Amino acid sequence: MSKLKLDLKCINNFVKDSEIKALAPVAKTAFHTLMEKTGAGNDFLGWIDFASKYTEAEINDIVNTANDLASKAKVLVVIGIGGSYLGAKAVISALKPYYKKDGELEVIFVGNSLSSTYIKETLDYLEDKDFCINVISKSGTTTEPAIAFRLFKELLIKKYGKNYASRIVATTDKARGALRQEANEAGYKTFIVPDDIGGRYSFLTPVGLLPIAASGIDIKALLKGINLAYNDLTKDDSLNNQAVLYATARNVLYRKGKVIEALVTYEPKVKYLSEWWKQLYGESEGKDGKGLYPASVVYSTDLHSIGQFFQEGTRTMFETIVNIVNPDANVIVNHDDANLDGLNYLEGRDVNYVKDMATLGTKLAHVSGGVPNIVISIDKLDEENFGYLLYFFMISCGISGYILGINPFNQPGVEAYKKNMFALLGKPGYEELAKELAKQLD
C-alpha cells in the first residue's frame, strides 16, 4: 500500500480534468522511456533498481563502517557538494531530533561552499575533538570539496600522525579520478559511486547511506521504504501511478504559465528535503530554455516574509505542500488566568492542530489568490516514509523531464561557472579563457 497520498483537489480551479487526461499519453510514453531505458541519459539509470539489489554483506559493510566511525569519533566531517551531500543532509535533518543526545556522533557537512569563515570556524571547532572524515566525490577534483579535504586532512594528520588514514573513508569512483588514486595509495577505506548514477540520484548508494547510518538512522528501514516505492511506482504507466500523476499535473500547470513550483513545508526539519528536491528538479529539468523553477518555503516563517508575494504577487507559481500528518512530538496550549495574549480560546488544543489550521487557512487563501496547491502527505517522519517520499520524487522527476523533452540525467550547465572560476584562478589549461574573460572585464 502506498505510503504517500497525492491530493490534486486544489488545482481543480486552474486545471481541468480533461487537461490532465490529455497529457496522460505523453506521460505514459515518458514512463516507458524511463523504465525501458530508451531515452536521453539512459546510461544514468542505475538508481532505479539500485536499492533492490543490495546484498546483506553490502549493507553490513556500510553499517559496520558507520559504527567504526562512531566508535572513533565525536564528529564525522562529511565533505561533498551537490548530489554528494544533499541527500544525506536531507535525511539526517528530517529524521534526527533537533538536538543531539549526549554521546551521539555529530555529523557535519563541509566542502559545499567557499566560506572561508565556515571552514576556519569548523577547523577550530574540531581542534580538540576526535573526528573522522567521509569525503565524497565521484571526480575527486570538484574545487569546493577538494579544498575542504586538503584542509581537514591536514588537521587530521596534525592530530593523529600516520594513523590519520584509518580515520578517512572515501566514497568515489571505482577506478578513476584523483580521490580514487589517493585512497588506493594511502589505504583509505572506500565505497563506490556507481558509474551509472548521477549525484542527485545517489542518496540511496553509499554516498548517502554511510553518513546516514553514521548518524544513527536505520538504513535498512530507509531501504525498505525505497523498495516499497520502487514496487509501487515503476510498474503502472497510468495516472493511477502517483509518480506519473504528479509529473503530469506539474507539467499541465507549467504549460498554463505556472512556471515556478514552490515546495512547502511547515516542519523546519524538512527544509533540507527542499534543498535536495531543488537540486533534483533544477539540475534535471532546467535546460534547453525550459523547466519549472524549483523554489522552496518553510511556513510559518516564510508566511511572514515571502507569503505576501505568494498571496498577491506575479501569478506564475504553484505550491506543492509536503504534509507530515503526525508530528514526532506535540505540546498543548494551557490556560492562563491573565490571558493577556488572548490565547485562552486555544486552551487544550495542541500546537500541531494550530499548524493544521494554518495549513488549511493558507491553502484556501493562496488558492483564492491564484496559486494552485498540490498536497503530498506522508503519515510521519520515519525512515520508511521518508525513503518512499524521496524515491517518489526521483521517479516523478525522470518522467517529468521526459515529458518536457529534455535529458533529465545530465547537467552540462554546471560546467560554465567552473570554467570561468578556473580561468580566473589561473588553473593550468585555462589560459585562453582567462584572456577572453580579461577582455570582458575591461
Residues forming beta bridges with residue 380, ordered by sequence position: 326
Pick out residues in 414-433 that bind ligand PA5 (CB under 6 A).
Answer: none
| Least CB distance to ligand PA5 at residue 428 (A) | 20
Spatial distance between the Cα atoms of 149 and 270, rounded to a whole number of angstroms: 28
In angstroms, the CA 262 to CA 296 distance is 5
Instruction: With CB under 6 A as the rule, give the number of residues binding ligand PA5.
Output: 14
Q: Considering beta carbons, is residue 84 or 205 the nearer one to ligand PA5? A: 84
- Please indicate whether residue 418 is annotated as part of the active site: yes
Stretch that binds ligand PA5, among 196-204, 286-294, 366-374, 387-395 (CB under 6 A): 196-204
Inter-residue contact 134 to 211 (CB < 8 Å) = yes
Q: Does 81 bind ligand PA5 (CB under 6 A)?
A: yes
Decide if 360 contacts 232 (C-beta within 8 A): no
Query: Binding ligand PA5 by CB under 6 A: which of 199, 225, 282, 401?
Result: 199
Footprint of ligand PA5 on 17-36 (CB under 6 A): none
DSSP per-residue letters across 274-320:
HHHHHHHHHHHH--TT---EEEEEETTGGGGTTHHHHHHS-S-EEEE
Residue 304 bears catalytic tag = yes
If the CB atoms of residues 112 and 359 are measured against ligand PA5, the closer one turns out to be: 112
- Strand 373-380 and strand 4-7: the pairing is antiparallel
Binding pattern to ligand PA5, positions 200-239, x when CB under 6 A? x---------------------------------------
Kindly name the residue from 162, 304, 432, 439 that is annotated as catalytic.
Answer: 304
Q: Which residues contact 436 (CB under 8 A, 6 or more apart)?
A: 423
Question: In this complex, which beta carbon is closest to ligand PA5, that of residue 205 or of residue 248?
Answer: 205
Query: Which lies closer to ligand PA5 via its Cβ, residue 81 or residue 399?
Result: 81
For every residue of 24-72, DSSP letters joined together read HHHHHHHHHHHHTT-STTGGG-TTTTTGGG--HHHHHHHHHHHHHHHHH
138 near ligand PA5, judged by CB under 6 A: yes
- Closest separation between CB of residue 206 and ligand PA5, Å? 13
Contact status, residue 207 vs residue 193, Cβ threshold 8 Å: yes
**Residue ranges that bind ligand PA5, judged by CB under 6 A:** 81-84, 137-139, 142, 145, 198-200, 283, 411
Active site (catalytic) residues: 283, 304, 418
